[in-house]
């Protein structure tokens, strides 16, 4: 029920947003507690970890129990580097999707990444490709 209370509603959009901490925790709990061998959940989680630059601090703030351990182990810089591999197109990247510190600053302010409302319009953060 707490999840419903924490849905983000924005005047900019016609639909509510579930904050990322709830979504990540739910996917992680399904993956861990159901011992699923379906890589779908793991792939989604790793895309979110890399795309939103979820790190250990974020994990300790928003996750607990099995979800915390599961996501934290995949959120270290070394785990993110291992997913990128040694392909030259990732050289210098922070994650598979985030190329530099400027992109990271935009990503960490995306509405819904945390449980706090940062007071910015959702439309302001929908795309950051214009910074490249």
Q: pLDDT by residue (tens digit) across 3-12?
A: 456 666 666 6
117-126 confidence digits (pLDDT tens):
555 544 444 4
Residues 6 or more apart in contact with residue 126 via CB below 8 angstroms: none
Name the one residue in this structure whose structure tokens are 């302010």: 109
pLDDT band of residue 73 (cuts 50, 70, 90) is very high
Range 98-107 burial, b when 16+ CB lie within 10 A, else e: bbeeebbebb
């Amino acid at each position: 029920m707490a999840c419903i209370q924490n849905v983000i509603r924005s005047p900019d959009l016609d639909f509510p947003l579930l904050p990322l901490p709830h979504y990540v925790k739910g996917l992680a709990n399904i993956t861990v507690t159901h011992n699923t061998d379906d890589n779908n959940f793991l792939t989604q989680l790793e895309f979110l970890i890399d795309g939103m630059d979820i790190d250990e601090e974020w994990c300790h703030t928003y996750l607990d129990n099995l979800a915390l351990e599961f996501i934290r182990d995949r959120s270290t810089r070394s785990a993110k580097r291992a997913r990128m591999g040694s392909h030259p197109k990732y050289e210098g990247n922070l994650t598979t999707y985030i190329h530099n510190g400027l992109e990271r600053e935009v990503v960490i302010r995306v509405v819904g990444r945390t449980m706090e409302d940062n007071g910015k319009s959702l439309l302001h953060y929908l795309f950051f490709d214009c910074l490249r």
